[in-house]
Amino acid sequence: MKAAGAAWILLGAVWWGWISLSERRRRRALLEELGRSLLRMSEEIRTDRTPMPSLLRQRAAECGGDAAAFFRRAGTGEDRSRSWEQAAEALPLSPQERQVLGKLAQDLRGDEIRIRRAFAHAAGYLQQNAREMDRTYREDLRRTAALALCGGIMLAVFLY
């Protein structure tokens, strides 16, 4: 009976580790997709002079998951700046990343150069964070696995 309980605790620890890594992969993919989309929007503003509502609808249709939801939310409502800020707040990103995206709302009513500069800055920041996540992946994997397994073993030892 004790062995079965210990096995369940260890399985729970492994499950927690797997969930943590899945969330990390999801965040990394979202950072990359948002960065690419912002750069693409910047280029479409420059080359095609595409209006912002159309750009947001296009990005929502072309992106998947959280990025599509972001662009869909950002394109709704009468006050596009407030909609953009609310959409940024709802993303599963770090507070700093949400803040960088939310600050773009202030530039949405600016001229073309200001909007493009702001999009390029935000895209660079998001993509840099994604690259940093790639760089630290192995270390994070080891740390998560060690924490999950050690925590599970310690809990099993203390309970039994």
* CB contact burial 77-103 (16+ within 10 A = b; e otherwise): eeebbebbbbbbeebebeeebbebbbe
Residues in the chain: 160
Taking alpha carbons only, the member of 44, 51, 31, 138 closest to residue 93 is 31
Number of structural domains, the chain? 1
- Domain residues for the domain of 60 are 2-159
pTM given for the model: 0.81
37-92 confidence digits (pLDDT tens): 999 999 999 898 888 889 999 999 999 999 999 999 998 878 888 999 999 999 99
- State the residue for tokens 């409502």: 77
The span from the CA of 87 to the CA of 101, in Å, is: 9
Q: How many angstroms separate the Cα of 103 from the Cα of each of 34, 59, 71, 147?
A: 15, 19, 15, 36
pLDDT at 75: 87
- State the residue for tokens 């399985």: 11
Q: How confident is the model at residue 6 (pLDDT cuts 50, 70, 90)?
A: low
* Greater model confidence, 2 or 55: 55
pLDDT at 72: 94
95-147 confidence digits (pLDDT tens): 999 999 999 988 887 788 999 999 999 999 999 999 998 888 788 778 877 77
The span from the CA of 149 to the CA of 12, in Å, is: 9
pLDDT at 1: 65
